[in-house]
Amino acid sequence: MITVTQFVASGLWILGLGIILASWSMAYYQAQYRHMCVTTLLKERRFDALVTFGLFLVFTGWVSADSRLWASGVWLLLAVIALLRFIFLLRRGSVST
């Protein structure tokens, strides 16, 4: 039987992967439309922020899903790094120079 914690943890990382896939798909579409390289568009702040947020959700889901303490610590560290990067990207975009 699946618990609520397992359900939420699985939902988080699946949602994160969905966000990453959707942002990559949109960048690919726009790259084809503009005749550009996909990696160039993925470096833009909006796509970078979406991918980073998706990674945060994936890592957060894996923290709850993994039963090994050392692995949960690694996923937690990566989730904190992704969250800090996401906050940095949001603040960088809101400050005009």
pLDDT tens figures, 34-80: 999 888 888 888 899 999 999 999 999 999 888 899 999 999 999 99
Structure confidence at residue 94 as a pLDDT band (50, 70, 90):
low
Q: Is the pLDDT of residue 29 over 60?
A: yes
More confident residue, 64 or 33: 33
The count of domains in the chain is: 1
More confident residue, 17 or 3: 17
Q: Is residue 60 part of a domain?
A: yes
How many degrees, rounded to 5, is the angle at CA 81 between CA 60 and CA 6? Answer: 5
Residue type at 45? R
Q: Is residue 32 part of a domain?
A: yes
Q: Is residue 4 part of a domain?
A: no
Range of the structural domain that residue 47 is part of: 13-91
- Whole-number Å distance between alpha carbons of 89 and 48: 8
Q: Is the pLDDT of residue 13 over 90?
A: yes
Q: Is residue 6 part of a domain?
A: no
How many degrees, rounded to 5, is the angle at CA 52 between CA 72 and CA 86? Answer: 100
Q: Is residue 84 part of a domain?
A: yes
Q: Is the pTM of this model over 0.95?
A: no
